[in-house]
Amino acid sequence: MTEAFDYSLIDWSRAQFALTAMYHWIFVPLTLGLGFIMAIMETIYVRTGNPEWKRITKFWMTIFGINFAIGVATGIILEFEFGTNWSNYSWFVGDIFGAPLAIEGIMAFFLESTFIAVMFFGWNKVSKKFHLVSTWLVAFGASLSALWILVANAWMQLPVGMKFNPETARNEMHNFWDVLLSPMAVSKFTHTISSSYLLAAIVVIGISSWYLLRKRHIVFAKRSIVVAAVFGLITSIFTILTGDYSARVVAQNQPMKFAAFEGLYVGQTRAPLVAIGVMSTSPEDPDNENIKDFVFKIEIPNFLSYMAFQDINAFVPGIRDLMEGNEKYNILSAAEKIARGKLAIDALAEFKLAKEAQDQAKMDEARQILDENFQYFGYGYFVDDPSRLVPSVPITFYSFHIMVALGMWFMMFFAIVLLLVYKGKISQSKFWLTIGIVNIPLAYIASQSGWITAEMGRQPWVIQDLMPTMAAVSRLDTNAVITTFILFGVVFTTLLIAELKIMFKQIKIGPKQEGGH
């Protein structure tokens, strides 16, 4: 535990992974949602036989294809980074993390790649119904692909269904179903998927709004808006409900992250929720830069307790409770967790020495100590700097509130659009059509804010309570990581610019007439 960590290496490795993940997530949510929107549109075409719906479907398939290709490229790089930048993590997680990713590649990605060719090139070559089935399978395949990746991520947030093997110093899967169906996996999948569907609906409405403002492809735009608005309203409601469930799961399993959501420093019963708040630029606690007080805030009384535990009288622990401990509510202090984590780490070292000496009695003794304290294993790395157990509260707080506020706004927007469609005024509503276009970047901001909330809020953990980033990172030369960070930044930015140019060109061309495909 006297090992000195190169925090610049840790920070640059995190930055490189964040860069890749955030660029990847620009392309993925649109394809997740567009897959189902396309499938719905094609279903209408098959049922009505109206060629206009075929034309509409083909246009959105083009937009889907552009994003799908670049999304796959950035996703592959992400998986390689686990081996290059986070090799210690890759070893420690054993088969638990690799299994969902392998299933994703074997089952979901092959499903997508098989039927995506039929979807794009099978028009007039296969029957209408077979083509429709292919489109639906591509949509389900994309979401199935997301499922396994999100299950892997959820395990990092709530490690369940495994046992630690001191012989190999790796975690081994003990119960696959516990991993797949953990509350964190269910909440993360449902919330992430539904928010992606919402984003796609916003993009479809925004592009269609542009056509209506320019008085082009009127029928195409109106029909696209109707499908997207209905789809968006349903998924936005589901996003809010799953977000509420996700918050409860976080409160119960990642209390430090939950406290950071609300900037809650001192735990309370009947805790209020901060609806709007502005944090101070200077730290409230001179020993921890991350702890900042509010300059201004508007609160909803009792709502945080209810959101966390569905009980307005429930106690919600704050950052100070989690750091200093709270005997009344059986909350261990950070110092106690660090001491137990140190015991676990030392016991693992003793186990290895006893194994080399073939001393079974000492092996059994060390293993017992390790098992008793393993849930705090990762805390043992913070003997010299406990303050790092607190995530960046301002970043977590602002990203969480931006995500929530925009999610509520989008639900209201879908309802307004449907009302305008019902009254036959959507084409004349220049204000709301303009808002439809403005909503596109806002949807991406909300989507990225969600991931920032989830990932920044759980710092410093790569695996909650078991492995911090400092222990997970590969021992690389910092300059090499900086160089690859810059290279990835240039490549990804170039890809994004190219993708946007292709997208804008296709949007400018618009949907093709059936004879022109």
Predicted confidence at residue 475, as pLDDT, reads 87
Main-chain phi, psi angles of 297, to 5 degrees: -160, 150
With a cut of 70, say whether residue 5 has pLDDT above it. Answer: no
31 confidence band (pLDDT: 50, 70, 90): very high
With a cut of 80, say whether residue 516 has pLDDT above it. Answer: no
pTM: 0.91
Candidate ranges 64-78, 271-285, 399-413; pick with highest mean pLDDT: 399-413
Would 52 be classed as within a structural domain? no
Collect all residues with Cβ–Cβ distance below 8 Å to 234 and sequence separation of at least 6. Answer: none
Half-sphere exposure of 335 (CA within 13 A, CB side): 5
Would 428 be classed as within a structural domain? no
318 and 271 both lie in a single domain? yes
Predicted confidence at residue 98, as pLDDT, reads 78
307 and 348 both lie in a single domain? no
Pick from 90-99, 269-278, 303-312, 321-330: least confident: 90-99
d(CA 415, CA 418): 5
Tokens of 372: 């008793």
Would 131 be classed as within a structural domain? no
Tokens of 195: 């928010």
Predicted confidence at residue 340, as pLDDT, reads 96
First-to-last alpha carbon distance for the chain, in angstroms, is 65
Please say whether the dihedral angle defined by the alpha carbons of residues 153, 157, 160 and 166, taken in this order, is positive or negative: positive
Would 51 be classed as within a structural domain? no
Predicted confidence at residue 290, as pLDDT, reads 64
Exposure string over 18-48, b if 16+ CB within 10 A, otherwise e:
ebbbbbbbbbbbbbbbbbbbbbbbbebbbee
**Mean pLDDT throughout 333-337?**
95
277 and 296 both lie in a single domain? yes
**Mean pLDDT throughout 160-169?**
90
CB distance 465 to 47 below 8 Å: no
Would 85 be classed as within a structural domain? no
365 SS3 class: helix
283 and 324 both lie in a single domain? yes
Of 379, 372, 285, 290, give the one whose Cα is nearest residue 335. Answer: 379
Would 308 be classed as within a structural domain? yes
- More confident: 295 or 214: 214
321 and 353 both lie in a single domain? no
277 and 314 both lie in a single domain? yes
Predicted confidence at residue 106, as pLDDT, reads 76
Q: What is the pLDDT of residues 415-462, one digit of tens each?
A: 999 999 999 999 889 999 999 999 999 999 999 999 999 999 999 999
Q: Which structural domain range is residue 290 located in?
A: 266-329
Q: Domain tally for the chain?
A: 2
**Where is the domain boundary, 282, 302, 329?**
329
Of 16, 10, 4, 6, give the one whose Cα is nearest residue 485. Answer: 16
Predicted confidence at residue 2, as pLDDT, reads 40
Q: What is the pLDDT of residues 86-123, one digit of tens each?
A: 888 988 887 788 788 778 777 777 777 788 889 989 89
Predicted confidence at residue 7, as pLDDT, reads 84
**Mean pLDDT throughout 18-31?**
92
d(CA 204, CA 328): 52
Exposure string over 347-378, b if 16+ CB within 10 A, otherwise e:
bbebbeebbeeeeeeebeebbebbeebbbbbb
Q: What is the pLDDT of residues 216-227, one digit of tens each?
A: 999 999 999 999
- More confident: 85 or 101: 85
What region, left, alpha or beta, does residue 83 occupy, with left being phi > 0 and alpha being psi -120 to 50 degrees? alpha
Tokens 């098959």, located at residue: 46
